[in-house]
Structure 1
Amino acid sequence: MKVFLVAGELSGDRLGGALMQGLRQLVPDVEFAGVGGPLMAAQGLESLFPMDELSVMGIAEVLPKYRHLVKRMHQTAEAALDWQPDVMVTIDSPDFCLRVAREVKAKSDLRCVHYVAPSVWAWRPKRAEKMAKHVDHVLALLPFEPPYMEAVGLRCDFVGHPVVTEPVASEAEVADFRQRHGIGDAPLLLALPGSRRGEVGRLTPTFGEVVARLLRQKPDLKVVVPAAAPVADLVKELVADWKVAPIVLDPNEMDADTAQAEKRAAFKAADVALAASGTVSLELAASDTPMVIGYDMNWISWQIMSRMALIDTVTLANLVAESRTVPEFLGPAFQAEEIAPALLRVLEDATEQREAMSLTMERLGRGQEFPGVRAARSVLDGLKK
């Protein structure tokens, strides 16, 4: 069996790696090709080109790289057609992946599966109808998504979210992390300014202002920044003038297992997190780490996207639990003087947020079959039918 996969960013690479592992468990002689990152590479994928070339977000941010992205889109579609797989699975990154699917469908009858239902419940609802023209099957991460896809005639299966099965650091690992980094019993802030260069550049300076304000109330505050590998050097550069020197976890300076263990320990050891918007809110919920979400983008992108939004929160932990316990500060509200007091309030009492995070994990499939295997079963079942 041959499976062609396309992922465009770190979250998609995580999903792709889990799916590949599940497929290999069910079909041991499966072969893979396509585009992915390190976790997919660990499962045997040789990427056509570096995945981080596709990790661009925001309308204004995409425009300067548009021609190159179109070139990569055509290259990916042609590679899929030439390889003649049994199925193509595109993963998240809909603006890139669904264009690849459209080109492939225009030239073949290859079955196309898209992993991660586009957030039509949040904005651009017409995407579901457009998607149905060149996608056969959708794998959903969130339990409330299938009806939106089924309404336009697409098969859509909720397969759970891999975050619910990722290991969480033990109390012993937390104690060791705090001891090795000289944190002791001090309050610990986890700062997560994103994994793309653009968002790291925009968010990190304000994160630094938040830290400065927190230090006035918590002078013994410690800060840890688990950096994503592609932006680790930029993170180090941008945090150099913070009022307290943060502990930057650079995965480029560690082997893969150590880097993951350090990140897990940091997530669990933190008393509170300030994070960019995205799937990281689910990682924090899995570690039972209270959080505040902060995000900003190019002014043009914000004006367009804020007018198209259909929801009042972008935080997945809020959406899945149907609560609003995670404070968020987006666009014009992304101001240090507003974020710092919210972090202090969460530090003081996160009872309701922790209850909501527990419910989130339950609804995403914690305790059930490994989501990668569920996704693999869904893909294989679709091929049979």
Structure 2
Amino acid sequence: MVIATLGEVVADYRARLALAPARVAAMAGITEAQYRALELGTAWPGSAAVQAVIDVLKIPHDNRLHQRPADSPLDLYLSQILHGYDIPALIVDSEWRTVEANCYAQRLLPGSARPGWSMPRWILHSDEARERLGNWHQVAHVVTDLVRDEFAAGLDNPELHDLFRAARQHSSGSDSHHDGNSGGHLLTWRTATGPFPATACLISVPTGRPDLRQVTLIPRGTQPGHPLLNAKPSQPWNGPLLLDLLSCGICGLLLTGGGAPETYHCATGCLPPIPAGALEARVAEVVVPRAFGPDECRQLAAAQESLTADGFDMNLNVPVTGKHALHQWTRSMTDTQRRGILTSAVRSITVYGSKDGLCWEKSALRYAWRELV
């Protein structure tokens, strides 16, 4: 069995001992929320908590190599991805302190290049944030909710405790009304010339590093529209649909596409050649229903109605359900539309080898999603 992350190692050894998550947490002297965060890879519960779980489950030293200690530097592959973006992006640790920022993040947020700089702390404490963010109150409320949720998960983190106290002070001292539609997920920047540009804040967990988060700021004015609602024709996509989205879970290299018949393969031979069409269909079964949930379908229907009323011709009617969207993917979507859905929903897909190293259908796929905070 190929185990890719510390969380999977922990889950495997817990299953061998037939222990419930709550039982492991109690034996390790941590909260159940801390344990679940470790196993699911949703947050870093603290090095002490991790060591306690490892000791309780008696995980052999060899499998502990899958653990990446908190504050360990970025590997070359993750660093190259970060600096390959042409938009602001930075990697932060479990305490929201900067680990590494690309040049665009440093231009937008000059302080982000300093070791220990914290974006939530900057938003909640800095006068500069109040001056630069036209919707500072809404953004601060969203940050307060985010910090409160992580604090409630019981993560053993002194910096998070301090941020929570700052967030609580902001919440009690603010007289501005806040609701779920206040727009705090978008950062509106004041400029000397105007109009104010906005960026959408996306947060994801890098593959294999549950102790880190990637914060990506996408300029709102240049965000691509949903591929099913493009009123203007876009540049047609020619090539493998998953190009630059697939990486090998063994060596970390991007998988290449091509050949006749077309396949995806690892340059170092870690994985057997994978038929492109079959892998794309398998990925679509996961990605498409997620990209077209009930809320998304309702929003797309409203957008389609507005565009139609304005005289725009739609290339394809929006789906009414995720199952309908998958049917359109198979029967009526162009490769350009399919590629647009993939790049809008997925940041990367990691392919892990099967037990025998031969049958790719049994390989595990791990998705790093693009999601709004």
Bin of the TM-score, shorter chain as denominator length: under 0.3
TM-score, length of structure 1 as denominator length? 0.26
- More helix by proportion, 1 or 2? 1
TM-score, length of structure 2 as denominator length? 0.27
Q: Which fold has the larger relative contact order, with Cα–Cα distance below 8 Å and residues 6 or more apart in sequence?
A: 1
Higher Cα radius of gyration: 2
